[in-house]
């Protein structure tokens, strides 16, 4: 089990290129990759994004890439002389047309696309040869941190689940006394009203039976225990379990809501409130699990 937050760095050098990569991730329902790198590497974005998503399933992952060239690749600036001469010729023609001397300035040459060509962007394979190992190292470190945080989350979730189990057991232990209490209250009210009480009166027995049926929570308790066992199995799973845990939290919440609606008892109602409070803690933690 992994968290969705983490950070990692990686670096790798070839004969001509040094690549450095930083990877960080935060919570997201889906997998998102945002790349921050030199514009001349834009053609590599789809390949790098696919590479990251092959290792990270959920969370927003930010990838920062920096490259340094050590020489030998013809890096630097290459001048497109034909375009530069064409610009100068256009100014000369404009000067003749207007009858005044106009000369192109340095800024005019910079505004024309591709007069100055940076050659480093053309070495795609060599760039990838340096970049991919650096990216993998950063992702390794990122995943290691996510795994460590996942272990902490697992321990915290296990603790809260134990508390939920204890509260559920308390609800189960207390539930039989609800019908007994209702029977005693009913007989007490009838006695206070001065009515003759016949314990074998069919109407009294029917009232108690109907109440017992309305507050029966055996099925809900059985499903809760099943959900708890499933949640424990997710805690020990190695794959992506965040969505499954989130869905299971909804199911657990539904069972507690049903128990609360059936419970005509202050003690049981308070136990349900306490259980839902603990469950909310789980739901908050689950949002950070891959």
DSSP letters along the chain, please? --BS-EEEEEEEE-SSEEEEEEEEEE--SSEEEEEE--GGGGGGHHHHHHHHHTT--SEEEEEEEEEEE-SSS--SEEE-HHHHHHHHHHHHHHHHHHTS-----HHHHHHSTTSEEEGGGG-HHHHHHHHHHHHHHHHHHHHHHHHHHHHHHHHHHHHHHHHHHHHHHHHHHHHHHHHHHHHHHHHHHHHHTT----TT-HHHHHHHHHHHHHT--HHHHHHHHHHHHHHHHHHT-SS--HHHHHHHHHHHHHHHHHHHHH---HHHHHHHHHHHHHHHHHHHHHTTB-
Query: Does position 120 have pLDDT exceeding 50, yes or no?
Result: no
pTM of the model: 0.67
**6-72+126-142: CATH superfamily:** GHMP Kinase, N-terminal domain (3.30.230.70)
Mean pLDDT of 190-213: 56
Residue 235 to residues 28, 51, 226, 238, Cα–Cα distance (Å): 20, 27, 15, 8
Ordered by start, the domain boundaries in the chain are 6-72+126-142, 81-114, 148-286
- 245-285 pLDDT, tens per residue? 999 999 999 999 988 887 777 888 899 999 999 999 999 99
Check residue 206 and give its pLDDT.
61
Mean pLDDT to the nearest integer, 220-229: 92
pLDDT at 152 (0 to 100): 93
Q: What is the mean pLDDT of residues 56-71?
A: 88
Q: List b or e across 113-123, with b for residues whose CB sees 16 or more CB atoms inside 10 angstroms.
A: eebeeeebbeb
Question: Which residues does 197 contact at the CB level (< 8 Å), separation at least 6?
Answer: 187, 190, 191, 204
Q: Is the pLDDT of residue 226 over 50?
A: yes
186 has pLDDT over 60:
no
User: What whole-number percentage of the chain has pLDDT above 90?
Assistant: 42
pLDDT in tens, 142-161: 999 999 999 999 999 999 99
**pLDDT tier at 80 (50, 70, 90 boundaries)?**
confident
Beta strand 31-36 pairing with 59-69? parallel
């Amino acid at each position: 089990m992994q968290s969705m937050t983490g950070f990692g760095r990686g670096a790798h050098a070839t004969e001509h290129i040094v690549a450095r990569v930083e990877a960080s991730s935060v919570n997201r329902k889906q997998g998102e990759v945002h790349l921050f790198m030199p514009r001349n590497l834009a053609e590599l974005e789809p390949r790098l994004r696919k590479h990251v998503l092959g290792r990270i399933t959920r969370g927003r992952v930010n990838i920062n890439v920096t490259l340094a060239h050590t020489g030998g690749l013809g890096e630097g600036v290459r001048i497109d002389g034909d375009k530069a001469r064409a610009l100068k010729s256009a100014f000369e023609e404009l000067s003749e047309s207007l009858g005044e001397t106009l000369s192109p300035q340095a800024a005019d040459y910079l505004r024309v696309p591709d007069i100055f060509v940076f050659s480093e962007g053309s070495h795609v394979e060599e760039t990838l040869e340096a970049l991919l190992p650096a990216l993998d190292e950063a992702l390794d470190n990122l995943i290691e941190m996510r795994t460590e945080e996942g272990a902490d989350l697992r321990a915290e979730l296990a603790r809260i689940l134990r508390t939920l189990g204890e509260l559920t057991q308390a609800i189960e232990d207390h539930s039989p006394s609800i019908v007994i209490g209702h029977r005693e209250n009913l007989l007490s009210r009838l006695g206070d009203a001065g009515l003759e009480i016949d314990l074998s009166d069919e109407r009294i027995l029917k009232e108690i039976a109907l109440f017992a049926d309305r507050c029966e929570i055996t099925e809900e308790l059985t499903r809760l225990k099943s959900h708890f066992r499933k949640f424990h199995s997710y805690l020990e799973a190695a794959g992506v379990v965040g969505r499954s845990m989130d869905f299971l939290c909804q199911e657990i919440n539904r069972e507690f809501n049903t128990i609360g609606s059936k419970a005509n008892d202050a003690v049981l109602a308070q136990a349900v409130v306490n259980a839902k409070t603990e469950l909310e803690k789980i739901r908050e933690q689950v949002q950070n699990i891959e």
